[in-house]
Chain A
Amino acid sequence: MFQNHYETVFILTPVLSEVQIQETVAKFKQVLIDNGAELVNEEHWGLRKLAYPIQHKSTGYYQLFHFTATPELISTLEIAYKRDERLLRFLTLKLDKHAIVYADRRMKKVKSKKEEATAE
């Protein structure tokens, strides 16, 4: 089956407790894996200040998924996003060849930084 590279970022409301955040992130990861997506990279940017208030909230938890999947999966993913009210905002996009190279380099950079952090 033809698989594209996709990247999705979503923002969770800051009101959630740590456990609820883990649970929602795991829920969306499950949605991806159930429909046959292969997770390449995921990043959790944690609590960040928003540039403008969304739904009267000024901070939010950012989460990024980089995965390969068949095109049909995206509509099911977006329906899941729309249905979940803990989500402030989401953005899903297809990666072209330059973006894939960039994402890989970014992943290696983050990994090397992590190794240095653990090495010290």
Chain B
Amino acid sequence: MSLVNERIERRETVQKKYCRFKKYGIKYVDYKDPDFLLKFLNEQGKILPRRITGNSMKFQRKVGTAVKRARHLALLPYVADGLK
């Protein structure tokens, strides 16, 4: 009995990631509203990497500084569990 791998159907092509800042023309990442910044944090409150968020390098750095400022002002936690 020969082992046959069943055919795995390929998921339809992954939707092209885009940088939301370039697309919607956002120029400034505000450190004062934590709800927007939550989109770039995972459950433990860590900053998501670019390959997940799809941000361009320029805006990933801006998001990084904004999140760090928000953490300094206790708007965002440094370490959290079940943040969302």
Contacts and interface: CB of A to CB of B under 8 A. Distances in A.
B74 to A, nearest CB: 4
A93 B62 CA distance: 14
B74 A51 contact: yes
Interface stretch (B1-9, B10-18, B49-57, B75-83): B75-83
Nearest to A99: B28
B3 to A, nearest CB: 53
B28 A9 contact: no
Size bracket, chain B contacts: 10 to 19
Listed residue (B30, B74, B76) with the most chain A CB atoms within 10 angstroms of its CB: B74
Main secondary structure of the interface of B (DSSP, over half): loop
A91 B73 contact: yes
B69 interface: yes
B27 interface: yes
Contacts of A11: 73-74
Contact of A98 (B27, B72, B77): B27
Interface in B25-84: 27-28, 30, 32, 34, 69, 71-78, 80
A50 interface: yes
B74 A54 contact: yes
A52 B34 CA distance: 14
Interface of B: 27-28, 30, 32, 34, 69, 71-78, 80
12 contacts: A11-B73, A51-B34, A51-B71, A51-B74, A54-B74, A60-B74, A89-B72, A89-B74, A91-B69, A91-B73, A93-B69, A102-B27
Which 10 pairs, one residue from A and one from B, show the smallest C-beta to C-beta distance?
A50-B74, A51-B77, A98-B27, A98-B28, A102-B28, A51-B74, A99-B28, A52-B77, A51-B76, A91-B73
